[in-house]
Homo-oligomer: A and B are copies of this chain.
């Protein structure tokens, strides 16, 4: 098992800007603040969203677009490094006006209506993603 002991760093609350892409906002914020690793979660609502389902057979993400206003009942994940750059990995659960839930990997094209997110930085050396042949995903590599 690959495990990392992390050191708690800065903590941020963020009111997300209406009309912007969730992943791009988190990525830009981390770049500006030099956050290289973090736990991230939040709640809110989206104007529209794109969910992903990882199809292990094809090694591809299936794209599930939801082109309507929905509650973000939870959105959570982490920030780490991929090819020496900030990499944001989030999953999301949305709810429609009847309360039905839809979820998946959060893909670009997911646009915030209102969002309150919490970013908890880790200040030591961040996990780095490398290709994992077993799953065909980019996963955290073993520390040497």
Contact = CB atoms under 8 A, between A and B. Distances in A.
Interface of A: 1-8, 10-18, 25, 29, 37, 39, 41, 43, 45, 51-56, 62, 64, 66, 69, 71-74, 76-78, 80, 89-105, 113-114, 116, 118, 122, 127, 132, 134-135, 137, 139-140
Nearest to A44: B91
A51 B99 contact: yes
A73 B62 CA distance: 15
A76 B74 CA distance: 7
B43 A16 contact: no
A2 B99 CA distance: 29
Contacts of A14: 1-4
